[in-house]
Structure 1
């Protein structure tokens, strides 16, 4: 369990009512009754309403009223209307602060509930990939463009099937709950078809039908499917998605392009030919990085795209998760702020263990 530390701004806000109380009281005593600082006592509960619960606001308001009475008696203001006006101001602001604090508490409780539901949805939709599947080690990284969001429009999955290790990485057009619902449709269809369909092309056609039934208009999903069997090669099906990156044992890079470009999932109208499978050598000691365009299209302050190929050396760490985290940290430094698009990365390392036999997902 992580403990949330108070930020410097919250500390300043928490001390503002006390500071206002001290400043107003001192100024009123020094300046005397002729200047009229007493109505400023209403600032104390007003500042208290910015942070904290209704009980804290009520306490600060009560203290402010007591101080207001004391200063009013000291200045002799209750012989005229100014003293009573100041007390009315403090009481009114205190009441408004209490109401605001109650409403804020309810909104924070609702937000906490929504975040909890989002975390459950993440575990169901984007469940952790297996650390090992067949001859592969796997690691994943997901960065949402929406502040505090856990899930978005990017998707990924690794399935150890009887037909080999099958992988999908995709990017749903659009944002928000609609994109999440579409991602759920694609992942659900992939998880089922990956076990049932012996042919990767037929698997892709099944995904196309599932997505076409759910999507309306011109919405679509770019995706790349990969299959790694026991013949030291990977087979790709590319539906308008960025080409994967293969890191060879000698450090050279390969971005295998499809023989012909196909439309994204959801746009494959009747009669239009789908993507053709293309095979790429993939041997023990090599790495395969699949990613979404939120990685390669991430810009720095000068507007330059993230140079993924130039940063491939960051994947040399012995631990796959550590290597991918180093690449993600470098991507965040490049953007120098929150990303403008979701960024998903899936790293597969061919270690050779379990080659040629079915290995259960861990």
Structure 2
């Protein structure tokens, strides 16, 4: 199963930096001691030694902080006795007081870290409800996923995805809830869980969307959030039928997916060429459909579009956090242009490359949640009788 990505930067350099930072209190002790030995006694550099246990309180345990305080106290006595520096008793008392305060600060910090760990475990459990792991092969359809929360510490956001192998085909959902925080997570959970249940029952994607519209309405009616009733989500539904080699799409105000055709497959106008001989198509809907929880307000019918799939074709679904990623000059990430150069890359590597490219483009400063799916019809036999949906062909940009 594909696990959502959470890391933002390369682990190795970060681990090295954290390793060096862990030793900084001891390094500070050595530097101050060396300066005290190398400078005239009038400077009394040894009086700066209390800074070492104070720094240790921010990263070391209580015991280690106290031991460092004892070490600095011994170093101070050795330096002052060797150089006959004045105010030994005063400096010793100051160092003992700072060490005691640092030990207490370390104790408070560790308690808060344990609380944060518990909160993160709850966030992970909440994320598991919204973003259940998606099998990499579902009913003859290969699926790869990517998820990044805008705040790495939060671990969860308003983007969501789900996939089920229903009697009507493999149905996939990806969406983005308006706003952030717990209210957005609640709406995302209501939609994703409603999809996992309703996708087995509803005969077409339009009826499935209407049912999820009701789910969002019911959730907002019972929510105690101050902005209850304002929560809506853009979403895109896909129904893949491997035996017929086609996918039906319903785009509810969401960024249009991209179709990556292999070197020998794919047809239709509006494609972008690539060095590998493949092409990329933007699958815009033939008519707009309202976002979930907006149909009653803005009206509109749900429009289904059917796209034929050739061998090797891949579909990239993504949230607007991908295309709205900015560099330091304020330019948006050029997803269609970038993806056109990746037609020969396998789906798992494609999302890994996208992850790295977004971090590099934004210099690690992602401002929005990001979710992406790569769907490929792997050609497994589908024994379901896939009835024609009567949908119109999708338009290409």
What does residue 161 of structure 2 align with? 156
Question: Cα distance 1:75–1:348, how it changes in 2: closer, same or farther (>3 A)?
Answer: closer
Two-structure CA RMSD over aligned residues (Å)? 2.6
Q: Which runs of 5+ in 1 are unaligned?
A: none
What does residue 52 of structure 2 align with? 44
SS at match of 1:236: strand
Aligned 1:268-347 pairs, distance under 5 A: 268-269=295-296, 272-312=299-339, 313-317=341-345, 319-347=346-374
1:23 aligns with 2:51: no
Moved more, 88-97 or 325-334: 325-334
Moved more, 270-279 or 301-310: 270-279
Q: What is the aligned counterpart of 1:220 among 216, 224, 232? A: 232
Question: Cα distance 1:112–1:244, how it changes in 2: closer, same or farther (>3 A)?
Answer: same
Moved more, 187-196 or 85-94: 85-94
Question: Cα distance 1:352–1:66, how it changes in 2: closer, same or farther (>3 A)?
Answer: closer
- TM-score of the superposition, structure 1-length normalised? 0.87
Question: Cα distance 1:24–1:331, how it changes in 2: closer, same or farther (>3 A)?
Answer: closer
Aligned residues: 350
1:64 aligns with 2:72: yes
Question: Cα distance 1:295–1:83, how it changes in 2: closer, same or farther (>3 A)?
Answer: same
Structure 1 residue 283: deviation in Å? 3.5
What does residue 113 of structure 1 align with? 118
Q: Find the aligned partners of 2:205 and 2:163 in 1 and give their Cα distance.
A: 14
Structure 1 residue 271: deviation in Å? 8.5
Question: Cα distance 1:189–1:76, how it changes in 2: closer, same or farther (>3 A)?
Answer: same
1:145 aligns with 2:150: yes
Structure 1 residue 208: deviation in Å? 0.3
Superimposed CA distance per residue, residues 1-46 of structure 1 (whole angstroms, 9 cap, x where no aligned partner): x99945264145143343245236415xx634x5544533323322
Q: Find the aligned partners of 2:351 and 2:304 in 1 and give their Cα distance.
A: 27
Question: Cα distance 1:69–1:308, how it changes in 2: closer, same or farther (>3 A)?
Answer: closer
1:208 aligns with 2:236: no
Moved more, 172-181 or 266-275: 266-275
Q: Find the aligned partners of 1:64 and 1:39 in 2 and give their Cα distance.
A: 10
SS at match of 1:355: coil
Question: Cα distance 1:58–1:124, how it changes in 2: closer, same or farther (>3 A)?
Answer: same
- TM-score of the superposition, structure 2-length normalised? 0.80
SS at match of 1:274: coil
Q: Which runs of 5+ in 2 are unaligned?
A: 1-10, 221-227, 267-277, 386-397
